[in-house]
Chains A and B, each alone.
Chain A
Amino acid sequence: MSAVDAAFVRRSPPKGAGFDPIFKWTCAFAATVLLASLTGIVIALAIGGAPAFAKFGFGFFTNSHWNPVTEVYGAEGPIVGTLISAILALIFSLPIAFGVAVFLVEFCPGPLRRPIGVAVELLAGIPSIVYGMWGLFVFAPLFAQYVQLPLMTAAPPGSIWDTLTQGTPNGANIFTASIILAIMILPYMAAVLRDLFLTVPVHLRESGYGMGSTTFEVITSITLPYVRRSAIGAVMLGLGRALGETMAVTFVIGNSHLLPKSLFDSGSTIASTIANEFNESTTDMHTASLIALGLVLFLITFVVLAIARALLGADKTA
């Protein structure tokens, strides 16, 4: 019996090992497709919108006349409308989402915690067109009758209230759109904030209570500082959603391209303008201007989402 020869134990490579690199490169290809699609989006929007930028130059951003008949396109109205409606929506929904998240983490009775949490998550998945239907047929008429009209008649002429509440009392205005947007992003933000609050180590919160802090003090001086960057990231994610939201807004914003003069004035957002006009665009310049609007929207959301992503990761490494 001799020692086993090294050459004897060497065996052929396992069956199918030849496909290893092929599989690896197929996977890498799929990942590259993702990269390519984002690049494709940017390039397609830039090329498609180029004629509009070339013709109107910087005036595209500062002109508030959007007129398909005279072929003059200025995007100030939709851009301002997008920013105002998204920021208003955030202002409406943030305190409520915060309250829901705190309630779920701190006070909610055990048996209710899961059902309410699940309900909030499920509602975050309801398609925006459903919110749009509700806004158009249920909320807008009620809002016009019980909020808009009384406020308009009650406002003293010439005062700031009068300026803010001008408009046609039909419920289709920037303010209504912001409220619908707020309702839409509320479940989403509440769910994200709740998950963030749950990442705070229990012993930190308990030591706060042990020192005699009230719940309010624990939230403001322990929970919030612990998650502050991520929380801002979560808020930015909500903002990103509100900026790009199309259907819910299109139904209730009134679709006027002028610069909104008051909170109750009808307006438009970039997304709603594209959704409404793209299929009916008559001339090449109209199409190009709509695509240019798309590029503007992409750039705005890109910045917001990039900030959100940077902030959301920040607390984990700290």
Chain B
Amino acid sequence: MASLKKSIRSAGNGVFIGLCFIATVLALAVLTVILWTLVVKGAGGVNLHVFTMSTPASGSEGGLLNAIVGSIIMCSIGMVIAVLFGVLAGTWLAEYGRNHWYAETVRFVNDILLSAPSVLVGLVVFEFLVVPFHGASALAGSVALALVAVPIITRTTEDVLKLQPSALRESGVALGTPLWTTIRQVLWKSAGAGILTGGLLAFARISGETAPLIFTAGGNQFFSLKLDHEMASLPTVIFNFALSAYDDLVRLAWTASLIVAVAVLAANILARTITRERRP
């Protein structure tokens, strides 16, 4: 009887281990297949034209230059706004607000913003920045991306600052340094790598965001650097071309997907190496 129970237990355990193993293999297989498809379908379309010509109409030759430049411009502006507000807000939460009820509220709001659907950000920026100015613009797109990035940077800044030993703050006080100088010159410096990681993760996130851009930045067939006009971006080009019925445009969409995925992975890996080096 006892041995029967034991064999049932160990058999059940074997099944469980097998299922866990299968789950892992299945998950890794599916995700490998996706990346492999992306490389195979995307790499075929990579040539010099992709980086030197703007998006074409179907049937003519073209590339992704305007979309790549547009993505870089809008992500950069978005990141500048997001870093400015995110780092300051994170600093306030970690250094000044702490357990105050207002800090708790802001923390809660930040958590909600962190996972709120990004399509809603697009809707709201449309109402505030597109409707009053009668048209989509690169600036509105940048603000939408900034709104997606701010919560990530706030969160990492706060977390990293909280990890800094209070001896650092006390040494600042002991030297008679004003608190804001201590924060700027001691805490931000020693937390620098962590904040940079947060920035890179936020950058990785917004460079693939599509939903906030389709209403706010619109699309532009032509090369444009004007911030008050519509501007193309890689994700919106993927969205428009993938749903078009033309093979050449779909091929370009695959190439654009590959570029976005590579950029996102690169930013993620860079973020990872930075934190790993700092870890003792």
Stretch at the interface among A134-142, A200-208, A223-231, A257-265: A134-142
Chain B: minimal CB distance from A81 (Å): 14
Contact B127 A48 (CB under 8 A): yes
Given contacts A30-B85, A298-B120, contact A119 B28 (CB under 8 A): yes
Contact B21 A237 (CB under 8 A): no
The contact of A127 among B209, B215, B250, by CB within 8 Å, is B209
Within 8 A of A (CB), among B189-235: 201, 204-205, 207-211, 214-215, 218, 235
Chain A: minimal CB distance from B183 (Å): 7
**How many angstroms between the C-alpha atoms of A215 and B85 in the bound complex?**
47
Q: Which chain A residues border B215 with CB–CB below 8 Å?
A: 278-279
0/1 string, A63-102, CB within 8 A of B gives 1: 0000000000000000000000000000000011111101
**How many angstroms between the C-alpha atoms of A309 and B91 in the bound complex?**
22
**How many angstroms between the C-alpha atoms of A48 and B79 in the bound complex?**
28
- Which chain A residue lies CB-closest to B235? A129
**How many angstroms between the C-alpha atoms of A101 and B202 in the bound complex?**
25
Contact A309 B111 (CB under 8 A): yes
Contact B128 A27 (CB under 8 A): no
Contact B105 A247 (CB under 8 A): no
- Which chain A residue lies CB-closest to B116? A301
Contact B123 A294 (CB under 8 A): yes
Within 8 A of B (CB), among A184-207: 186-187, 190
The contact of A134 among B23, B34, B126, B264, by CB within 8 Å, is B34
Stretch at the interface among B50-58, B60-68, B173-181: B173-181
Within 8 A of B (CB), among A19-69: 19-20, 22-24, 26-35, 37-38, 40-41, 44-45, 48
Contact B208 A128 (CB under 8 A): yes
Is A149 among interface residues, defined by CB-CB distance under 8 A? no
The contact of A102 among B20, B85, B95, B261, by CB within 8 Å, is B20
Q: How large is the interface on B (under 10, 10 to 19, 20 to 34, 35 or more residues)?
A: 35 or more
Contact B177 A14 (CB under 8 A): yes
The contact of B115 among A33, A137, A301, by CB within 8 Å, is A301
Q: Which chain B residues border A48 with CB–CB below 8 Å?
A: 123, 127
Contact B23 A26 (CB under 8 A): no
Q: Which chain A residues border B91 with CB–CB below 8 Å?
A: 27
Given contacts A31-B93, A34-B109, contact A41 B211 (CB under 8 A): no
Chain B: minimal CB distance from A110 (Å): 15
Stretch at the interface among A1-9, A154-162, A163-171, A238-246: A238-246
- Which chain B residue lies CB-closest to A245? B117
* Interface residues, chain B, with chain A CB atoms under 8 Å away: 9-10, 12-13, 16-17, 19-24, 26-28, 30-31, 34, 37-38, 41, 84-86, 88-89, 91-93, 95-97, 102-103, 105-106, 108-113, 115-121, 123-124, 126-128, 147, 150-151, 154, 176-181, 183, 201, 204-205, 207-211, 214-215, 218, 235, 238-239, 242-243, 250, 253-254, 257, 260-261, 264-265, 268-269, 272
